[in-house]
Structure 1
């Protein structure tokens, strides 16, 4: 039986959404309760610009509109980090046969702490704002936790590890 969806593209974005005070927005996966993460998502097509992937995924997963008055486009910053990792076996069926690794591009997005968050119930159960170290500890993904630990440096708060 053929799948209705085309295989996922093994190139994705990770968007660390944070407040000016370095509180990080985490969302809990609906398909894996207890698995907390930042916004992630794959390109819809191979030539989709990464910035467009970020804008689409942040809007779909949180309801936050990048490019709005509350969140100017300039608040989305490409951190220039790339992670190549093995796709968890439980999710490999979403990709073409033989695809085992994904390339993840890391971005940061500063938003007002009081911005409304609207989750898509089929994708996420709940959200939480946590201080950056606590957020890193809660993430199930090692690359997501690493990115959050780098937040102070990329947000202009000195070296990672200080706060």
Structure 2
């Protein structure tokens, strides 16, 4: 199963770049005072700036990609594994709960779900070739997913009373 490794590798890559930019390069090539003209410090500052600009430019696209991989790739592989008895039946259920929390905390995941829903609605509900029973089945599954996703997280009761 390679799908779960893609988000992990992406997050690890950006974290490694950030750590390199904020800790390793400044430790190896300390930034000199403003008046000093050290060529190595100037080169290090240039590298730091290039890393920062690149990560800022690509971070959002990478997180959108990760959101789609988490929703389609990982959940799809877990569902396929459960259906074919290659993985535990509980794996998709546990991962669905993870996606539920990810949905609440990540705008990229919410956007991915919205695009996937719009795509499925267009190709299933709006397709005259799909029989009405197929459309009803899709709507039932879609409703169940929405209800599961929107279920409020239970708060602990106040026992001090």
Bucket of the pairwise TM-score, normalised by the shorter protein: under 0.3
State which structure, 1 or 2, has the greater radius of gyration over its C-alpha atoms: 2
- TM-score of the superposition, structure 1-length normalised? 0.27
Report 1 or 2 for greater relative contact order, CA contacts < 8 Å, sequence distance ≥ 6: 1
- TM-score of the superposition, structure 2-length normalised? 0.27
| Structure with greater strand share of residues | 1
